[in-house]
Structure 1
Amino acid sequence: MMQSEFRQRREQFMAKIGTGTAILRSAPTAVMHNDVEYNFRQDSNFFYLTGFNEADAIAVLAPWHETHKFVLFVQPKDRDKETWSGYRIGVDAAKEQYGADEAYPISELDEKLTQYVEKADRIFYHLGRDRTFNQTVLDLWQRLMTTYEKKGTGPIAIEDPALLLHPLRQTKSASELALMRKAVAIAAEAHHLALEMRKPGCYEYEIQAEMERLFRLRGGVGAAYPSIVASGANACILHYTENNRQMQDGELLLVDAGCSYDYYNSDITRTYPVGNQFTAEQKILYELVLKAQLNAIEQVQPNNAWNLFHDASVRTIVEGLMSLGLLQGDIEEIIKEEKYKPFFMHGTGHWLGLDVHDVGIRQIGETWQTFQPGQVVTVEPGIYIRPDFQPFEGQPQVPDRWRGIGIRIEDDVLITETGHDVLTAAVPKTVEAMER
Structure 2
Amino acid sequence: MASNLEAILAGKYPAKDHARKVAAYLKQKGLKDDGVIYLEGQKTKFIEDNDSEQPFRQRRFFFYLSGCLLPDALLTYHISSDELTLYIPPLDPDSVIWSGLPMSPAQAKDTYDVDKVLLTSEINPSLAQLGSQVGQNGVVFSIQGQISDSTDFVPFPNTDFLAVKTAIEECRAIKDAYEIALLRKANDVTAQAHVAVYKAAKSAKNERELEAAFIATCIAHGCRELAYHPIVASGTSGATLHYVNNNDSLIDPTTNKRKLNLLLDAAGEYRAYCADVTRTFPLSGKFSPESREIYDIVLEMQLETLKMIKEGVLWEDVHIAAHRIAIKGLLKLGILKGTEEELFDKRISVAFFPHGLGHYLGMDTHDTGGHANYEDKDKMFRYLRVRGNLPAGSVVTVEPGIYFCRFIIEPYLQSPESSKYIDNDVLEKYWEVGGIRIEDNIHVTKDGHDNLTSAPKYADEIELWINGS
Both proteins in one fold, TM over 0.5: yes
Q: Match of 1:435, SS?
A: helix
Letter in structure 1 aligned against 2:144: L
Report the Cα offset of residue 360 of structure 1.
1.9
Partner of 1:411: 440
Higher mean displacement: 260-269 or 160-169: 160-169
Code of the aligned partner of 1:257: A
Counterpart CA distance in 2 for 1:201 and 1:427 is 20
Which of 195, 198, 217 in structure 1 is aligned with 2:198? 195
1:9-33 superposed Cα distances (whole Å, 9 cap, x missing partner): 2233334445222111212334444
Count of residues paired in the alignment: 419
Deviation at 1:324, TM superposition (A): 3.8
Is the 1:289–1:381 Cα contact (8 Å) retained in structure 2? yes
Query: Corresponding residue for 2:418?
Result: 395
2:396 to 367, 372, 377: 377
CA RMSD between the two structures: 3.0
Compute the displacement of 1:104 (Å).
Answer: 4.4
Name which of structure 1's ranges 373-382 and 37-46 shifts more when overlaid on structure 2. Answer: 37-46
Separation of aligned partners in 1, 2:183 and 2:62: 19
Q: 1:157 to 1:28 in 2, by over 3 A?
A: closer
Secondary structure at 2:265's aligned position in 1?
strand
How is 1:414-433 mapped onto 2 (pairs within 5 angstroms)? 414-424=443-453, 426-433=454-461
1:81 paired with 2:82, answer: no
Is 1:234 aligned to 2:237, yes or no?
yes
Rate the CA distance shift 1:346–1:99 in 2: closer, same or farther, 3 A. closer
Contact 1:254 1:407 in 2 (8 A): yes
> What's 1:243 paired with?
246
Q: 2:176 corresponds to which letter in structure 1?
A: S
- 1:210 positional shift: 1.4
Residue ranges of structure 2 left out of the alignment (5+ in a row): 1-8, 28-33, 252-257, 377-385, 465-469
CA contact (8 A) 1:221 1:262 kept: no
Distance 1:278 1:222, change over 3 A: same
1:122 aligned partner: 139
Deviation (angstroms), 1:255: 0.8
1:16-415 maps to which residues of 2 (within 5 A)? 16-17=25-26, 19-35=34-50, 36-64=52-80, 69-85=83-99, 87-91=101-105, 93-95=107-109, 97-98=111-112, 100-117=114-131, 119=134, 121-128=138-145, 130=146, 133=148, 140=153, 154-155=157-158, 157-199=160-202, 202-248=205-251, 249-328=258-337, 331-332=340-341, 334-336=343-345, 338-362=347-371, 368-388=387-407, 389-392=409-412, 393=415, 394-396=417-419, 398=424, 399-404=427-432, 405-415=434-444
Find the aligned partners of 1:51 and 1:310 in 2 and give their Cα distance: 34
The alpha-carbon deviation at position 231 of structure 1 amounts to 0.5
Identify which of structures 1 and 2 has the higher relative contact order when contacts are C-alpha pairs closer than 8 Å and 6+ apart.
Answer: 2
Please give the alpha-carbon distance, in whole angstroms, between the structure 1 residues aligned to 2:442 and 2:115. 38
TM-score (norm 2): 0.79
Deviation (angstroms), 1:428: 2.3
SS of the residue aligned with 2:410?
coil
Shift of 1:336: 5.0
1:225-283 C-alpha deviation (Å, 9 max, x unpaired): 11111101111122222211221325111111112222222221110011122222222
State the AA in 2 paired with 1:428.
P
Alpha-carbon separation, structure 1, partners of 2:270 and 2:55 = 15
Alpha-carbon offset, residue 144 of structure 1: 6.3
1:347: Cα distance to partner? Answer: 0.9
C-alpha deviation, 1:91, in angstroms: 4.9
Aligned CA distance change for structure 1 residues 105 and 256 (closer, same or farther; 3 Å): same
Q: Tell me which amino acid in the other structure corresponds to 1:184.
A: N
Contact 2:399 2:437 in 1 (8 A): yes
Deviation at 1:72, TM superposition (A): 3.0
Counterpart of 2:217 in 1: which secondary structure? helix
- Cα pair 2:285 2:463 within 8 Å, conserved: yes
Distance 1:144 1:334 in 2: 63
Cα separation, 2, equivalents of 1:9 and 1:285: 43
3-state secondary structure, aligned to 2:216: helix
Paired with 1:435 and 1:97, the residues of 2 have a C-alpha distance of 44
State the alpha-carbon separation in 1 of the partners of residues 68 and 62 from structure 2: 8
How many Å separate the matches in 2 of 1:250 and 1:361?
Answer: 37
In the aligned structure 2, how far is the partner of 1:328 from the partner of 1:33? 56
